[in-house]
Structure 1
Amino acid sequence: MPEAPLRHVFVYGTLRRGGRNDINRLQPAPGYVGMGEVQGVLYHVDRYPGLTLGGEEAVTVVGEVYRITPELEVVLDRIEQIVPGADSEYFKREIDVAVNGNSMGCLVYEINPERVREKQVIGHGDWIVFHGA
């Protein structure tokens, strides 16, 4: 049986290196690809951030890109509380991310816009700088 293809994920919050949910501590281990950037709005939700993609107030949001297995994707879905329907905390998107000067298709966990109403905007787009790791 052929192995499932590896995918890429863009992580911008607690899953970043040194974060509370550092992806590098998860199994099966991911492969670091490089730093990435997307356009969006980053919010301070609680002890973690939420990203909405695009929009009039979009800034460059920075994060890390990793190669992941389908097994690790299941773990990430659990951490991000992905559930079917409109009540999910995050929605999983596949978008193009700027990585090392190239464009690469990546999974991005986008916060449900209902969860960030009245939440603080992080204007510079870097959770680690904002939160102090």
Structure 2
Amino acid sequence: MRDDSNELVFVYGPLRSGGPECFRMAGAVYVAKGTVPGMLYGLADGPALVSGGEDSARVTGDLYRVTPEHLQKLDDLDGLAPDERETSDRRRGRVAVKCFFNSGDSWTAWAWVWHGPVDPGQRIQSGDWLRESRPGLTEGLQRYPWYSLIGTICLVSFPIWLLAAPLTSYYTSPLARFTHDAMLIGGALSPFAAVYSLWLAKRRGESDRLLGCLYAVALMACGFVVVAVIVAVIKSIRG
């Protein structure tokens, strides 16, 4: 059951998954990678999100669902008293978040927005603080729907492995028997790996145009494996 008391939070700096302070998001539920309208600046005390600016400017970050208590802890990171936050340059406000992989999905979330002066020379042109702070390391992982691809590969390999396994049953060498058993085990486990990968893809916010169909097929393949194992066990007991 969904807890409506929870809040959505958009983080765009060190709190992001893979950032140096991502441990502060422990216990939060990752929703998706997303973008918000605005520009990002690298200030001395961390990145700053400035709303508005160029029409096409977007800032990349991660969307989490947190409890009210967790949200309060994130507020306390600035070290300010509650009455001081109302006049601070960095204040929490509502932003419109669009899914990074599927622009049709959108949410309204809290984010810490900068209202003070900025130096144009400090602007992070890509709008992605994690990409700029760790160039080349996370760009590919963040940009592409890897979990969807892994899930699809696992699903496609399921019939291939099961069809290829009988080809090795004609040989009696230890290597052939090992290969035969490995193919059967790999083929049996592949749909379960596909289900898990596609579930992670959905949590990451990757495009879900095909995820529903692939997920259903993977579940049916898992059911086929379970039934086959049950039948094999019954035959072995009776035989």
TM-score of the alignment, normalized to the shorter chain, above 0.5: yes
Specify every segment of 5 or more residues in structure 1 that has no aligned partner in the other structure, as ranges.
none
Larger radius of gyration: 2
Q: Judging changes above 3 Å, is the alpha-carbon distance between structure 1 residues 76 and 15 closer, same or farther for their aligned structure 2 residues?
A: same
Q: Judging changes above 3 Å, is the alpha-carbon distance between structure 1 residues 80 and 58 closer, same or farther for their aligned structure 2 residues?
A: farther
Deviation at 1:129, TM superposition (A): 0.9
Deviation at 1:64, TM superposition (A): 0.4
Matched residues in 2 for 1:58 and 1:47: separation?
26
- Alignment check: 8 A CA contact 2:39 2:53 kept: yes
Choose 103-112 or 46-55, whichever is displaced more.
Answer: 46-55
Q: Judging changes above 3 Å, is the alpha-carbon distance between structure 1 residues 90 and 58 closer, same or farther for their aligned structure 2 residues?
A: farther
Q: Give the structure 1 partner of residue 110 of structure 2.
A: 107
> Which protein has the bigger helix share?
2
Could you list the per-position Cα deviations for residues 56-94 of structure 1 after superposition, in whole angstroms to 9, with x for gaps in the alignment?
3761211000000001101110124563332x1411111
Matched residues in 1 for 2:24 and 2:49: separation?
22
Q: Say how many residue pairs are matched.
A: 127
Q: Judging changes above 3 Å, is the alpha-carbon distance between structure 1 residues 21 and 27 closer, same or farther for their aligned structure 2 residues?
A: closer
Pairing 1:84–2:82 present: no
**Secondary structure, in 3 states, of the residue corresponding to 1:75?**
helix
- Alignment check: 8 A CA contact 1:96 1:105 kept: yes
Matched residues in 2 for 1:53 and 1:31: separation?
25
TM-score (norm 2): 0.48
Matched residues in 1 for 2:105 and 2:69: separation?
26
Q: Give the structure 2 partner of residue 64 of structure 1.
A: 62
Deviation at 1:4, TM superposition (A): 6.9
Q: Give the structure 2 partner of residue 132 of structure 1.
A: 134
TM-score (norm 1): 0.82
**Secondary structure, in 3 states, of the residue corresponding to 2:73?**
helix
RMSD of aligned alpha carbons: 2.3
> Which protein has the bigger strand share?
1
Matched residues in 2 for 1:89 and 1:113: separation?
5
- Alignment check: 8 A CA contact 1:80 1:109 kept: no
